[in-house]
């Protein structure tokens, strides 16, 4: 009986130590996110939809296991402009917005440095389109699904570089399209 109790205690200690090694802790990161812009104004002919613009992204999370974690983030879609013609008048517009998300994260390591990951959660997006000359002021906010696929390369034990494709909900009439490409870096505590 003493041997059984000793074996259970020793086994529990070994499993606890092994699990402690797989918990990697919290991290923070920054990135540059790019999204294509689209401006649809009812009754107008679009001349310039703005194209791709890059804005900043900040995020934080925690790996609770080597394969699982959670993350929150904020992406500034940056102010961008568009141009349209309506009733023979050429009008310039400005659009600004952001996206924020919270997601579960699953990752798979290929080796000590390279890994791939997927995130699934919910996002809140907000976009506002204005034009002083046309008296245009439209705003749309939405809560929808969020998903991402990415890969990461560890430069050191604390620093990693990443590239990912993100999807913020569904397509809107104006503002950035929901498909976002991000490159960035993160610091693991």
Element (H, E) at 21: helix 2-22
Per-residue pLDDT band for 33 (boundaries 50, 70, 90) equals very high
Write the pLDDT tens digit of every residue in 132-158: 766 778 788 889 999 999 999 999 999
Mean pLDDT across the chain:
81
CA angle, 178 as apex, 174 and 179 as ends, to 5°?
130
Query: What pLDDT was estimated at residue 118?
Result: 97
Length of the chain: 189
pLDDT at 4 over 60: no
For a pLDDT cut of 70, what percent of the chain falls above it? 79
pLDDT over 80 at 50, yes or no: no
Confidence of residue 95 (pLDDT cuts 50, 70, 90): confident
Q: Which helix (H) or strand (E) holds 63?
A: strand 51-65
pLDDT at 28 (0 to 100): 97
pLDDT for position 18: 40
DSSP state of 111: S
Give pLDDT tens digits for 34-47: 887 776 666 777 76
Q: Which helix (H) or strand (E) holds 103?
A: strand 89-109
Q: Is 15 helix (H, G, I), strand (E, B) or coil?
A: helix
Residue 45 CB partners (closer than 8 Å, separation 6+): 84, 85, 86
68-76 and 51-65: which strand pairing?
antiparallel
Checking if the pLDDT of 164 tops 70, the result is: yes
Instruction: Give the residue, 103 or 96, on which the prediction is more confident.
Output: 103
* Angstrom distance (rounded) from CA 139 to CA 175: 10
What's this model's pTM, rounded to 2 decimal places?
Answer: 0.78
Q: Which CATH number fits domain 29-37+49-81+93-188: 2.40.50.100, 3.40.30.10, 3.40.50.300, 2.40.160.20?
A: 2.40.160.20
């Amino acid at each position: 009986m003493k041997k059984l109790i000793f074996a259970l205690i020793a086994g529990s200690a070994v499993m606890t130590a092994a699990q402690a090694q797989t918990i990697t802790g919290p991290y923070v990161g920054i990135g540059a996110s790019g999204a294509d812009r689209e401006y649809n104004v009812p009754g107008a002919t679009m001349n310039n939809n703005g194209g791709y613009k890059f804005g900043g992204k900040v995020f934080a999370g925690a790996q609770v296991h080597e394969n699982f974690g959670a993350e929150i983030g904020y992406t500034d879609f940056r102010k961008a402009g568009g141009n349209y013609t309506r009733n023979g008048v050429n009008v310039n517009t400005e659009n600004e917005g952001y996206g924020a998300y919270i997601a579960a994260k699953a990752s798979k390591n290929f080796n000590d440095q390279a890994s791939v990951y997927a995130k699934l959660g919910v996002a809140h997006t907000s976009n506002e389109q204005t034009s002083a000359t046309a008296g245009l002021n439209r705003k749309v906010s939405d809560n929808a699904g969020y998903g991402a696929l990415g890969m990461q390369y560890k430069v050191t034990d604390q620093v990693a570089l990443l590239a990912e494709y993100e999807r913020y909900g569904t397509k809107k009439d104006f503002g950035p399209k929901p498909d976002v490409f991000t490159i960035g870096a993160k610091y693991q505590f």
